[in-house]
Structure formats: structure tokens, C-alpha cells
């Protein structure tokens, strides 16, 4: 793939060369299969060459972004790996904050929205870090390992969050730093993830429940594993030394192949489809720094209303007592297979029943065709609370036309048995 000047300006993925090599090998393999058929029409039916489609992730200034793979040559096969085996995702867009010291849990208990006072080694908690106005500064997963507490969060807020937290440290035994540039990040999503980790010698029994963590070794290299289900299947985040991420990535794929486990690299497109189906909104995609926790759609998973004080708590408590925010993130099932784009307006239906539409009540934040629903269009959208009742219909623009969508009761589109 010939890189554009924009791609060259971005921070390259730690797995850039490995993913490019994988895509070429897949192209060569398919070409050999066609040639081996020895048909006169072989050249006509020769499959198109696979390419990694790189896209920028990060600030509006693309020179500050990281590159992530949208797909690695076969988005449909990548999605299938998540549902049937193991999708191995390069997660260069994720950051890591290290928190060390004897008082780290007690200190963070006073900072974040979740109750972590009784969190011990082997456990994780999802939480928000807020500013004084109660707005979300970061969506984070706090993972307590024996050597330190590692915070998984978006790479592009990690530096600011680490500095903000460190500013509140006085005489506590706590040291906080953004270690994003020192860690390689892989995400394993799929039904066979725990089996694959077990086969590689990781104590997957410690990951049988969501939000559990274990330290382990893969191919002689130290890894830290945090289970965080996001797609309706098992999900495990792998932290490792940046210099070793390529070797670990290669070993995971090769070992799965030897153990007859369906596994392949997956890009953003496959992950995006699976995580929307699974009801997982993303910070800086579906909600962001202008939003309050009550608007995020994941309030119950991030906020504990029985714990003591934390930054922004007064605003959160006041919103809880008032009962309803002005807007909230909701899931929408589109009628038909049209796919709205991010930012597409959401309208209330006309009050007179004419089939037209009324006022704008929100906007689409992310969307995908849902393979588990026959490629029907599904979306997340930030919608005014007065128009966000479950079962209500709204009108959206999708592929140049107006179409209707139904607001879902829950964020997940998957059946209860698989979500």
C-alpha cells in the first residue's frame, strides 16, 4: 500500500509492518488457490489484492493522530473471527496510566465516580474521571495488578488525566504517570479468547468473569490481561512492553492456528460492528467531554451513588435528584438496511401523523450494518430526553433519504443469551 502524506504524518501503529505483511500473504494465498485450479478463466476470477485500510484516530489535526487499521483486507472474515473464534486487534489508540504506591487505591477512591475502596489484586472497575463541573474528562478501566494499578483509557486524554490526578497528590504514597508510549496494546475479542489464552499458558481461570485481571507470560514475554467484554463475546485487553507487542501478536496468531482456533487480525470496522451490536458506546465517539455521566448511556456501570466525595460529585448527585438529563445516548434500529453516518440529524415524527417530521431532537454518533440482524442498520444517537422514550419512532437521514428508526430499550442489540 502506497502511503499518503497524511498517513506518513501520523504516529505509525506498532504493528504497521506486521499487518501489511499479513494482508499481502493473504492476497498471495488466494492467488495461489486460483492458479492451482488451472482454469482458463483464472486470471479473470483472480481476487483483488488485499490491503490494510489505514485511518486516523485522534484530534482533528491528523498530524497528531495515530493510525489504526479500518480493516486488514477482509472485514467480513474479521467480524466472523470475533463471533466464532478470536479477533486480534491492534489497539494503538488506547493509552495507559500507571499508578504506583501503597495508597493508590485509597487515593483514586477519592477521585473517580466508581467505588473502588475494596478493589484488590485481580479486579478491575469501570469509572469516569470528571471535572469540577461534573463533565466527563475520561472513561477509564482501573485494573489492579500486584505491581501497580494500570488505567486503560483513550490515548489522547491520558497525558492530561495523569497530570490532573497527580496535582491532587499531597503526602500520599502515590506516583502517577502517563506510560502510553511504553506499552503495546492488543485487544482479543471472541468466543474462543479464554481457550486461546489457556493454550498459551495464561491463567484464564482468573478471567472467567468480566472485569477481572491476571498477569501472565506469552512466549516468554510478560503480559497483563484485563477482561472487558465489549462485543457480546469475551474481550481481553493485553498490556505489554511496546518493543514486544509485534512478537506477542505473531505468537497469538500462530499458536491459535496450531490449536485449530479461528483467529485473525481485525480492524476497526469489524470491531465497530461487534461493539455496537454488543451495546458498547465509546468515549470521544458516542459521548465526550461536554457530556454529563447521566447522558452517557453507561451511568450504572460507571457511577456509585453510595460512595464518598469525588470531583464533580455535587453535580452528579444533583442530576440524580432531578431525575432526568436534557439528553441521553440511545440505541436505534433503523427500518431497512440504510446506514446513517455519524452526525446525521435525528428528527421527531410529525405530530399530525402526516408522515413528515418535526423538530431536530438529536444526532447519530455511530452506526453499522448489524450482521447478527441480517445487516439491518443499527446506531447510537444522542437524543433529547423528551423524545427518547423506548419504543418511540424517530426520523433520520440515511444514504440520502429520510427513514424511520425505533429507539431501543437497551443499548445492546444482541439476544440476552449472548450479550
35, 127: one domain: no
Q: Where residue 214 sits, what CATH number does that domain have?
A: 3.30.1360.120
Q: What is the pLDDT along the chain (419 residues), one digit of tens a residue?
A: 334 444 557 889 999 999 999 999 987 776 676 566 655 555 555 455 668 999 999 988 877 899 999 999 899 999 999 999 999 999 999 999 999 999 999 999 999 999 999 999 999 999 999 999 999 999 999 999 999 999 999 999 999 999 999 999 999 999 999 999 999 999 999 999 999 999 999 999 999 999 999 999 999 999 999 999 999 999 999 999 999 999 999 999 999 999 999 999 999 999 999 999 999 999 999 999 999 999 999 999 999 999 989 999 999 999 999 878 999 999 999 998 889 999 999 999 876 655 677 899 999 999 999 999 999 999 999 999 999 999 999 999 998 899 999 999 999 999 875 43
Q: Is 25 helix (H, G, I), strand (E, B) or coil?
A: helix
4, 86: one domain: no
242, 263: one domain: yes
Q: Alpha-carbon distance 378 to 368, whole Å?
A: 6
304, 359: one domain: no
Structural domain containing residue 227: 74-324
Give the H or E element holding residue 156. helix 155-166
Q: Alpha-carbon distance 150 to 123, whole Å?
A: 11
7, 142: one domain: no
320, 334: one domain: no
59 belongs to a structural domain: no
State the pTM of this model: 0.93
145 belongs to a structural domain: yes
60 belongs to a structural domain: no
| Helices and strands (DSSP H and E) totals, the chain | 11, 19
Q: Alpha-carbon distance 386 to 362, whole Å?
A: 11
Q: Alpha-carbon distance 382 to 288, whole Å?
A: 11
419 belongs to a structural domain: no
179, 217: one domain: yes
Domain end point (choices 324, 344, 368): 324
377, 330: one domain: yes
332, 319: one domain: no
257, 357: one domain: no
Cβ density class 222-261: b for 16+ within 10 Å, e for less: ebbbbbbbbbbbbbbbbbbeeebbbbbbbbbbebbeeeeb
User: Shortest CA distance to 264 belongs to which of 254, 272, 253, 278?
Assistant: 253
121, 253: one domain: yes
278, 296: one domain: yes
339 belongs to a structural domain: yes
Amino acid at each position: 500500500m502506497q502511503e499518503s502524506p497524511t498517513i506518513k504524518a501520523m504516529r505509525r501503529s506498532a504493528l504497521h509492518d506486521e499487518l501489511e505483511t499479513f494482508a499481502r500473504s493473504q492476497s498471495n494465498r488466494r492467488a495461489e488457490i486460483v492458479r492451482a485450479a488451472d482454469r482458463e478463466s483464472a486470471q479473470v476470477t483472480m481476487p483483488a489484492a488485499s490491503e490494510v485500510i489505514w485511518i486516523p484516530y485522534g484530534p482533528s489535526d491528523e498530524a497528531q493522530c495515530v493510525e489504526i487499521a479500518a480493516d486488514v483486507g477482509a472485514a467480513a472474515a474479521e467480524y466472523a473471527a470475533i463471533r466464532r473464534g478470536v479477533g486480534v486487534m491492534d489497539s494503538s489508540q488506547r493509552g495507559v496510566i500507571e499508578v504506583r504506591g501503597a495508597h493508590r487505591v485509597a487515593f483514586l477512591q477519592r477521585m473517580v465516580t466508581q467505588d473502588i475502596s475494596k478493589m484488590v489484586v485481580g479486579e478491575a472497575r469501570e469509572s469516569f474521571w470528571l471535572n469540577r463541573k461534573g463533565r466527563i474528562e475520561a472513561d477509564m478501566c482501573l485494573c489492579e495488578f500486584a505491581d501497580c494499578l494500570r488505567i486503560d483509557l483513550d490515548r489522547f486524554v491520558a497525558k492530561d488525566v495523569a497530570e490532573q490526578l497527580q496535582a491532587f497528590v499531597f503526602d500520599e504514597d502515590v506516583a502517577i504517570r502517563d506510560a502510553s508510549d511504553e506499552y503495546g496494546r492488543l485487544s482479543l475479542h471472541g468466543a474462543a479468547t479464554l481457550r486461546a489464552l489457556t493454550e498459551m499458558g495464561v491463567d484464564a481461570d482468573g478471567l472467567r468473569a468480566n472485569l477481572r485481571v491476571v498477569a501472565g507470560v506469552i512466549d516468554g514475554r510478560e503480559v497483563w490481561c484485563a477482561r472487558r467484554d465489549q462485543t457480546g463475546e469475551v474481550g481481553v485487553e493485553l498490556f505489554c512492553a511496546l518493543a514486544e507487542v509485534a512478537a506477542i501478536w505473531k505468537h497469538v496468531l500462530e499458536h491459535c492456528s496450531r490449536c485449530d482456533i479461528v483467529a485473525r487480525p481485525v480492524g476497526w470496522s469489524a470491531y465497530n460492528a461487534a461493539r455496537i451490536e454488543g451495546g458498547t458506546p465509546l468515549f470521544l465517539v458516542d459521548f465526550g467531554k461536554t457530556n454529563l455521566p447521566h447522558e452517557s448511556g453507561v451511568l450504572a456501570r460507571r457511577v456509585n451513588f453510595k460512595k464518598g466525595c469525588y470531583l464533580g460529585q455535587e453535580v452528579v448527585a444533583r442530576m440524580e435528584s432531578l431525575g432526568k438529563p436534557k439528553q441521553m445516548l440511545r440505541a436505534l434500529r433503523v427500518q431497512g438496511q440504510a446506514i446513517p453516518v455519524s452526525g446525521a440529524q435525528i428528527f421527531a415524527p410529525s405530530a399530525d401523523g402526516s408522515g413528515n417530521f418535526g423538530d431536530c431532537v438529536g444526532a447519530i454518533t455511530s452506526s453499522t450494518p448489524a450482521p447478527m440482524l441480517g445487516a439491518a442498520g443499527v446506531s447510537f444517537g444522542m437524543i433529547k430526553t423528551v423524545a427518547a422514550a423506548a419504543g418511540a419512532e424517530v426520523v433520520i437521514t440515511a444514504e440520502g433519504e429520510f427513514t424511520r428508526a425505533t429507539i431501543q430499550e437497551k443499548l445492546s442489540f444482541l439476544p440476552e443469551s449472548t450479550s
